[in-house]
């Protein structure tokens, strides 16, 4: 029940946010996150096959 209320509140807030503001903060966040993940995979901190070996 708590997850439903929190999820509903976040979705309502996000819909209000995107109707009044730009998507650019989210675009930059996703680009930065993608670069960080690519770097971590390149230097060996993250494994691109980690999900396959787990479990």
Residue 27 belongs to a domain: yes
Summarised one tens digit per residue, pLDDT across range 9-50 is: 999 998 998 889 888 888 999 999 999 999 999 999 988 887
Q: What is the DSSP string of 2-33?
A: HHHHHHHHHHHHHHHHHHHS-SHHHHHHHHHH
Task: pLDDT band for 54, please (50, 70, 90 cuts).
Answer: low
Residue 11 belongs to a domain: no
Into how many domains does the chain fold? 1
Residue 41 belongs to a domain: yes
Please tell me the predicted confidence (pLDDT) of residue 53.
66
Please tell me the predicted confidence (pLDDT) of residue 48.
82
Residue 50 belongs to a domain: yes
Please tell me the predicted confidence (pLDDT) of residue 6.
97
Whether the predicted pLDDT of 51 surpasses 80 = no
Residue 1 belongs to a domain: no
Residue 2 belongs to a domain: no
Domain of 52? Answer: 22-55
Residue 51 belongs to a domain: yes
């Amino acid at each position: 029940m708590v997850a439903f209320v929190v999820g509903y509140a976040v979705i309502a807030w996000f819909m209000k946010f995107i109707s009044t503001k730009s998507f650019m903060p989210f675009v930059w966040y996703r680009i930065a996150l993608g670069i960080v993940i690519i770097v971590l995979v390149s230097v060996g901190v993250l494994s691109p096959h980690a999900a396959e070996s787990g479990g």
